[in-house]
Amino acid sequence: MSRIKEFTLPDLGEGLTEGEILAWLVKVGDTIELNQPIVEVETAKAAVEIPAKWGGVVTRIFHEAGTTVEVGAPIISIDTDPGAGPVPSAESLAAVAVAPEEGAVEPGMIGGPAPGGRTAVLVGYGPKTAIAKRRPRIGTPTGTTTAAPAPIAPAAPGVVQAGSAPAQAAAGPVASAAPARADVAGPVLAKPPVRKLARDLGVDLTTVAGTGPHGSITRDDLQKAAAAPTETPVTETVATRAAAPSAAVFDASREQRIPIKGVRKLTAEHMVASAFTAPHVTEFLTVDVTRTMKSLERLKARPEFRDVRISPLLFVAKAVLLAARRHPMVNSTWSGATNEIVIKDYVNLGIAAATERGLIVPNIKDAGRLTLRELADALTALVQTAKSGKTPPSDMSGGTFSITNVGVFGIDTGTPILPPGEAAILAFGAIRPTPWVHKGKIKIRQVTTLGLSFDHRIIDGELGSKFLRDIGGFLADPEAALLSWT
């Protein structure tokens, strides 16, 4: 049995056909253990870490991070018995196999074939690799070396090489005819009084041609330069044109392209299928949740909830679970294959979570059976796992009812689209202090707006309205509802 094992990309659940390698957790040469995480892969469901099936030494990684690999393709090879010595390479085996049968010498011996097709020789023998040197010609003084002309590479068609006769003819007298500037020949000749006058007049001495002895600048030269009209330098005109705003460009250089893959691709496919399959209806209800916020503060002060992170979402989730118990038809699915409505006696409560890879909706299995403390723990774990990108595919399948908390983004409410296979979804908006009629008087109360979208094939207007009304009634007075509904 071969000691080199090739690990293939496994099927991570529900018939997924491919996955994208996000990051390798090991590298070639690392010693790994059984079930040690070796690679992070993103599928159409979530990002997961895949453990090693064998322990050993990593010998090869087939695909770099960012590559999409089909299920069943090899992704890494592992030497499961690294203590048995090095594994012979294919090149070395081939070198030994082609050695002649007669007069063969052991590979590596002098005069015999060496790995790689070479011939082993003694140091100082064998083919010369040094560059040959020409002996000095007769008559050349000792110590003088005659430099050989450098080879001239053939010029491209239509290109004249520098130094050739046509090139020199084309250049003509341009180089020799260029006049020498006076300001680069040496320092400007001017007496101290003349320099002071130049500073007072604001004249640059390097721009003035001197008429005095040896080309020195005189006071008359400065007066003429100051009286002459100022010309706009060419460089200033060019700079001004360069500073002018260029015409707007609308092309790929100002665009960003994001590949549609993984979670985002699957979410898009599901949303399109849901939007054009289930007839959506959305209803809204504005609720005074002042008592819910007060109950939340009292709940945080209780000993059993002091180490738990709880939010208003906990009460919304509890309200949905209790209202679904009153109206079981809301927690159902439409089966077009059997022409049936399947009512679920369990609630797998999905919570929409925005992640870096897109929107996912993991769900809490059988949430209706959990106590308030257990529900709070499950919500906390679900959100933390989703933010870390480690949600397993099993947590995102089998949902029966979902909540999307758009209030955390400061949004009042919305018209959410149903996840495939579910009959209803609730949007929970932001809680804001709002003027509200309370006991016949206008007071500032904590108010939120709920939005319920449902499949009109299963839920008609009456059922949807009653379900949403019961959720609002629970949030208006959660303590009374917990006592009377349970």
Sequence-distant (6+) residues with CB within 8 A of 281 are: 453, 454, 456, 459, 461, 464
Total domains present in the chain: 2
CATH code assigned at 345: 3.30.559.10
The range of the structural domain enclosing residue 14 comes to: 4-81
Per-residue pLDDT reduced to its tens digit, 253-269: 888 887 777 666 767 77
Is the pLDDT score of 114 beyond 60? no
Mean pLDDT (the chain) is 78
CATH code assigned at 76: 2.40.50.100
Note the pTM of the prediction, 2 decimals.
0.57
Most confident option among 18-27, 35-44, 328-337: 328-337
Residue 305 falls inside a structural domain: yes
Structure tokens at 179: 């006049």
Q: What percent of the chain has pLDDT over 70?
A: 72
Number of H helices, E strands in the chain: 12, 21
Q: Is 456 a catalytic residue?
A: yes
Is the pLDDT score of 26 beyond 70? yes
Name the active-site residue from 63, 270, 280, 456: 456
Per-residue pLDDT reduced to its tens digit, 217-238: 888 888 888 877 655 454 555 4
Residue that is written with structure tokens 């400061």 in the block: 410
Residue 66 falls inside a structural domain: yes
Q: What percent of the chain has pLDDT over 90?
A: 34
Quote the CA–CA distance of 442 and 440 in Å, as a whole number: 7
Identify the pLDDT of residue 66.
82
Look at residues 44, 60, 81 and tell me which one is the last residue of a structural domain: 81
DSSP state letters, 63-87: S-TT-EEETTSEEEEEES-GGG-PP
User: Quick one: average pLDDT of 36-59?
Assistant: 83
Confidence of residue 87 (pLDDT cuts 50, 70, 90): low
Per-residue pLDDT reduced to its tens digit, 307-352: 888 999 999 999 999 999 999 999 999 998 898 999 999 999 999 9
Per-residue pLDDT reduced to its tens digit, 450-484: 999 999 999 999 999 999 999 999 999 998 888 88
